[in-house]
């Protein structure tokens, strides 16, 4: 096992790309998807650094990230950090994580955020939010600019992690921040207790290639007569099917126009599928840890 472990969850590749970049700055490191049922087994008495890399969902951490945190036990000597990717509105995710970690008696030593391209159509959001036109930012020029800026940010974060620097979470000293925190706490409670249903739509441009089935992180999609079927409601809200469809045939309620698809240029559909494809013994045998 390795002294440094980066656990990740990703839907469109941003968080995996960040995890890989951070891993390059460390030695004796493994990059492990948290969707493995046995992912927590990588942690051992020799582990020195443990990191979580994930996208921000609803100003908090995705449900599978919280589920993973609830499975792990750490020694006090481990430097534990989290890196959250977001599209520009991170909210108070660090405070939410700190709340989750406290329940597990885990100290969050470092918390970092990386701004990336916004790529979520928000199919569970109110209809009026669909007028924000976020897809206008998804152009080759703006993607390249964002990647350059995020690269510099990730380099700085990687150096802080290498030095085991501790960060201070957002302060709630002012009245307005306390009000905002109370509002965020309500959102967190609702998202934890009442999981919304996300309905995907399919148009006639579908070619039956099966990419959506391959990248679905909850195995919600099954191909039937060359057409995808969403066979249950368990969804990770990662939008991998939406963003990796080569024909942009998949839409969501309130957002069916063929604009605004994005996935990280260095992360393939096979990389997304690789989060859930290999067993532990196969990963060790092939030395494939990403």
| Residues of the chain under the 70 pLDDT cut | 1, 123-133, 169-194, 256-259, 277-290
DSSP 87: S
Q: So what's the pLDDT on residue 188?
A: 57
CB 44 within 8 Å of CB 13: no
State how far the Cα of 245 lies from the Cα of 11, in Å rounded to an integer: 13
CB 16 within 8 Å of CB 264: yes
Q: Find how far residue 19's CA is from the centre of its chain.
A: 11
Rounded to the nearest 10°, the torsion over CA 83, 19, 154, 45 is 70
Enter the pTM of the model. Answer: 0.86
Q: So what's the pLDDT on residue 180?
A: 62
Q: So what's the pLDDT on residue 162?
A: 94
Q: So what's the pLDDT on residue 51?
A: 95
Q: So what's the pLDDT on residue 39?
A: 87
Q: Which one, of 238, 224, 225, 232, lies nearest residue 276 by Cα?
A: 238
Q: Which one, of 30, 27, 5, lies nearest residue 284 by Cα?
A: 30
State how far the Cα of 254 lies from the Cα of 41, in Å rounded to an integer: 41
DSSP 88: S
* Structural domains of the chain in order of their starting residue, each with its CATH number: 4-162 (3.40.50.360), 200-257+270-286 (3.30.70.20)
Q: So what's the pLDDT on residue 160?
A: 95
State how far the Cα of 20 lies from the Cα of 117, in Å rounded to an integer: 18
State how far the Cα of 240 lies from the Cα of 217, in Å rounded to an integer: 8
Instruction: Write down the residue that tokens 């030593």 correspond to.
Output: 109
């Amino acid at each position: 096992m390795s002294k440094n472990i980066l656990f990740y969850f990703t839907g469109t590749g941003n968080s995996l790309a960040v995890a890989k970049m951070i891993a390059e700055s460390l030695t004796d490191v493994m990059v492990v998807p948290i969707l493995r049922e046995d992912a927590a087994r990588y942690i051992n008495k020799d582990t020195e650094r443990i990191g979580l890399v994930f996208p921000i969902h609803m100003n908090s951490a995705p449900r599978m990230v919280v589920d993973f945190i609830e499975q792990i036990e750490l020694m006090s000597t481990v430097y534990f950090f989290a890196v959250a990717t977001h599209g520009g509105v991170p909210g108070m995710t660090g405070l939410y994580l700190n709340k989750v970690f406290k329940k597990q008696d885990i100290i969050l030593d470092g918390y970092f955020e990386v701004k990336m391209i916004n790529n979520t159509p928000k199919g569970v959001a109110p209809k009026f939010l669909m007028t924000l036109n976020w897809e206008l930012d998804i152009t080759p020029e703006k993607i390249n600019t964002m990647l350059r800026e995020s690269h510099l940010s990730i380099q700085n974060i990687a150096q802080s992690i290498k030095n085991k620097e501790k960060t201070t979470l957002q302060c709630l000293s002012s009245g307005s921040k306390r009000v905002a925190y109370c509002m965020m706490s309500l959102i967190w409670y609702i998202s934890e207790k009442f999981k919304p249903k996300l309905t995907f739509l399919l148009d006639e441009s579908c070619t039956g290639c099966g990419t959506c089935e391959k990248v679905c992180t909850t195995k919600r999609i099954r191909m039937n007569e060359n057409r995808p079927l969403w066979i249950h409601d368990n969804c990770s809200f990662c939008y991998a099917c939406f963003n990796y469809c080569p024909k942009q045939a998949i839409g969501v309620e309130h957002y069916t126009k063929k604009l605004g698809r994005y996935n990280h240029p260095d992360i393939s559909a096979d990389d997304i599928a690789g989060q859930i494809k290999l067993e532990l013994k196969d990963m060790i045998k092939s030395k494939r840890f990403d």
